[in-house]
Amino acid sequence: MTLLPRKRDGHPPAHTPGYKSSVARSPSRALISGPASPTELSGPTFGHELLGKLDNNLVVNFTGQPAIGERIIVHGRVLDEMGRPVPGALVEVWQANAGGRYRHKKDGYLAPLDPNFGGCGRTITADDGSYEFLTVRPGAYPWPNGPNDWRPMHIHFSLFGPSFGQRLITQMYFEGDPLIPRCPIIRTIADPSAIERLVAPLDMNRAMPMDCLAYKFDIVLRGRRQTMFENQMEGM
């Protein structure tokens, strides 16, 4: 079994001066490639016993009382590059509250904390790779980078596939947000089609009438390949 090589041109490079924090935190030497060993090909697995009943419901999972904001479902499937579902994948999310404020001592933004919003959730994908969260739409917020930079509405996603070498953290954006093309973090990605793959469309098929809207965000992890010709000695 091997992992498909990572196609780096679909990812942001390490050094992206428009996102100032990357300047001193980016390796300057070339990455070293080599065959992955069983350590990179294997990975931790997580069972459903890990999950609490409300772990994927950010609206109520902090205090039991509902958070303030526009209720939304965020759902989708985790697939690999072959298009196969990835079941059993741990999906963790975190986000700002409806006003654009994180529950973190380093966030001093003017918008108030919501006493009923913690800001994190997690779930494990089903056999078809599907997952869903109920949450509130996160607010946009300003951040210290350029003189007037704002983050578009976004939800952070952390993903585990079956291989540690598939580990991925990314961010989901919302269809129609005018801050997307202005965001220096999004602009770390050079390929416009790659940016589009981070923007979740409004999904009225999943919206619940008189309750909440829905957004669909599919996530693709590196492919794992196994063929009958692999690991076979020539002539054997």
Interatomic CA distance for residues 111 and 14, integer angstroms: 31
Which segment (25-33, 67-75, 126-134, 204-212) binds other proteins by CB under 8 A?
Answer: 25-33
- Which run of H or of E encompasses 221? strand 219-221
DSSP state of 138: P
Burial status of residue 98 (CB atoms within 10 A of its CB: 0-12, 13-18, 19 or more):
buried
Binding-site string for other proteins from residue 123 to residue 152, where x marks contact by CB under 8 A and - marks none = ------------------------------
Task: Determine if 182 is a binding residue for other proteins (CB under 8 A).
Answer: no
> Least separation, in Å, of the C-beta of 235 and other proteins?
22
Residues touching other proteins, count (CB under 8 A)? 84
Task: Determine if 107 is a binding residue for other proteins (CB under 8 A).
Answer: yes
Task: Determine if 108 is a binding residue for other proteins (CB under 8 A).
Answer: no
48 belongs to the catalytic site: no
Residues between 192 and 221 with contacts to other proteins, criterion CB under 8 A: 194-195, 197-198, 219-221
Task: Determine if 225 is a binding residue for other proteins (CB under 8 A).
Answer: no
Strands 154-159 and 168-174, how do they pair? antiparallel
The residue annotated as part of the active site, out of 151, 173, 222, 224, is: 151
**Locus of tokens 């602009």:** 187
131 belongs to the catalytic site: no
Residues between 58 and 97 with contacts to other proteins, criterion CB under 8 A: 61-63, 79-83, 92-94
Q: What one-letter code names the amino acid at 40?
A: E
Please pick, from the candidates 53, 108, 148, 169, the single residue that binds other proteins as defined by CB under 8 A: 169
Nearer to other proteins, 118 or 207 (CB): 118
Q: Where are the beta strands (DSSP E) in 34-189?
A: 71-80, 90-94, 120-124, 130-136, 141-143, 149-151, 154-159, 168-174
Nearer to other proteins, 13 or 208 (CB): 13
Q: What one-letter code names the amino acid at 26?
A: S
> Least separation, in Å, of the C-beta of 35 and other proteins?
7
Burial status of residue 36 (CB atoms within 10 A of its CB: 0-12, 13-18, 19 or more):
middle
Catalytic residue numbers read 102, 141, 151, 154, 156
